[in-house]
Structure 1
Amino acid sequence: MKIIDDKNYYKMSELVEQTALSNHTISFYHKKGLLPNSLSTSKNMKYYPEITITVLNMIKYFKDNLSFSIDYIKELFDYYNINFDDRADLILQSIQMISSEIKNPISKKDLLDLNVEEAIKLDLIDDKEIYFKTEIEVLKTFTELRRFDISIQLINEYVQTSKKLAMLERELSSKVLEKTGFLPEILVLDILNSFKPYIFNRHTIEEFKKDI
C-alpha cells in the first residue's frame, strides 16, 4: 500500500491478493471502464485507489451470485453513474443495482393499463418517466391484486411492513459497523440477496401450510 495525497493506493499485486482475482481479469475490468482511474508514478508504476477493492468485490459478487455479464455490469455502472469517490454511496448504488433490472425500458405513458399512479402513492415504485423490467413486474402484480379487489389498506400494510424490515436491515449493518469500524460490502449484498429473501419466503411457506 502507498499513501498518496493522504489516501491509500494499491499496486496490482496487492489487488490480486486482496480480491483473489487475476492480474489479467483486473486489467480487463479496468479497460472496460469498470474501475476508478489509477495513478502512475514517475517510475511508471500504476496505483489504484482503495475503493477499487470494493468495486472488484462488487463485480465478483454480481458475476458469481447473480450471473450478471460484464457488459450488463458496465450498463449498470453507466446507468447509475457509479460513484468511485464515496464507499457508502457505492454500496447504496450496488443495492439499487441488484434490486431492479434495467432491462426492457417502457415509458410511463405506455403503461396506462397498469395502476401506475396508485402504485406511486402507495410507495410501491418511484415516480419517473421510464420503468424497467422489475418495476413493471411489480406493477403487473399490483394491478392483478387490485383486480381481485384486494384492499388498498392491506397492500399499504404490506409496504409499511417492508419499510420496517428495511429499517432492521439498516440496523443490522449499523451494528456490524459499530463492532468493526468497517462495513463489508459483501455482507450488505448477502443480507439483501439471500438472507432476507430466504427468511421471508421460509415463513411465508409456513403461513401457507396452515391452510393445507
Structure 2
Amino acid sequence: MKVIENKNYYKMSELVEVSTLSNHTISFYYKKGLLPNTLSTSKNMKYYPEITITVLNMIKYFKDNLNFSLDYIKELFDYYQINFENRADLILQSIQMLSSEIKNPINKKDLDIDILNEAISLDLLDDKEVYFKTEIEVLNVYKQLREYDISTDLISEYVSTSKKLAILERKLSTKVLEKTGFLPEVLVLDILNAFKPYIFNRHTIEEFKKAY
C-alpha cells in the first residue's frame, strides 16, 4: 500500500492479492466504469484508491449471491450515482441496490393513484415519479391485502415492526464497528440478504404452524 497525499492506494498486484480477483478481471471492471479513478505517478504506475477494495467486494457479492450481471451492476451504479469517495455512503448505496431492483420502470401517473397514496401514507413506499420492479411488487401485494379488507392498522403495525427491526440491524452493525473499527460491507449485505430473511421466515413458518 502506498500513501499519496494522506490517502491509501493499492498497486494492481496488491488488489489481486487482497481481492483474490485476477488482474484481467479488475482491469475489465475498471474499463467498464465500475471502479473509482486511478492515480498515475511519474513512473506511469497506476494506483487504486483504498475504497476500490470495498467496491470489488460489492461487485463480487452482487454477482455471486444475487446473480446480478455486470451490465445490471453498472446500471445500478449509474442510477444511484455511486459515491467512490465515502465508504459509509457507498455501503448505504449498496443496501439500496440490494433492496430495490431498478427494472421495468412505471410512471406514477400510470399506477392506481389511490392505492399508491395509501401505500405512501403507510410508509410502504416513497413518493416519487417513477417506480421499479420491487416497488411495484410491494404495491401489488398491498393492493391484494386491501381487496381482502385487511385493516390498514394491521399493515401499519407491520411497517412499525419493520422499523424496529431496522434499528436492531443498525445496532448489530454498530457493535461490529465498535469492536473492530471497521464495518465489513459483506457482513452488512449478508445481514440483509441472508440473516434477516431466514430468521424472519423461520419464525413466520412457526406462526403458521400454530394457526393450521
Aligned twin of 1:210: 210
Out of 171-180 and 109-118, give the one that drifted further. 109-118
In the alignment, structure 1 segments of 5+ residues that lack a partner are none
Amino acid at match of 2:27: S
Aligned twin of 1:107: 107
Aligned twin of 2:79: 79
Task: Provide Cα deviations, 1:72-123, integer angstroms capped at 9, x if missing partner.
Answer: 0000000000000000000000000010000000000100276100000000
Residues 122 and 156 of structure 1 are in contact (CA less than 8 Å); yes or no, is this contact kept in structure 2?
A: yes
Is 2:57 the partner of 1:61?
no
Pairing of 1:103-142 with structure 2 (within 5 A): 103-112=103-112, 115-142=115-142
Pairing of 1:191-202 with structure 2 (within 5 A): 191-202=191-202
Following TM superposition, by how much is the alpha carbon of 1:211 offset from its aligned partner in structure 2, in angstroms? 1.8
Secondary structure in structure 1 of the residue aligned to 2:3: strand
Pairing of 1:143-154 with structure 2 (within 5 A): 143-154=143-154
Residues 36 and 49 of structure 1 are in contact (CA less than 8 Å); yes or no, is this contact kept in structure 2?
A: yes
Task: Provide Cα deviations, 1:7-45, integer angstroms capped at 9, x if missing partner.
Answer: 000000111111110000000000000000001111111
For 1:195 and 1:17, how far apart are their aligned partners in 2?
28
Is 2:150 the partner of 1:163?
no
Aligned twin of 1:97: 97
Is 2:37 the partner of 1:37?
yes
Task: Provide Cα deviations, 1:122-173, integer angstroms capped at 9, x if missing partner.
Answer: 0000000000000000000001000100001000000000000000000000
Secondary structure in structure 2 of the residue aligned to 1:81: coil
Aligned twin of 2:7: 7
Amino acid at match of 2:209: K
For 1:211 and 1:139, how far apart are their aligned partners in 2?
26
Secondary structure in structure 2 of the residue aligned to 1:210: helix
| Structure 1 consecutive aligned stretches of length 4 or more whose deviation exceeds 3 Å | none
TM-score (norm 2): 0.99
CA RMSD of aligned residues (A): 0.7
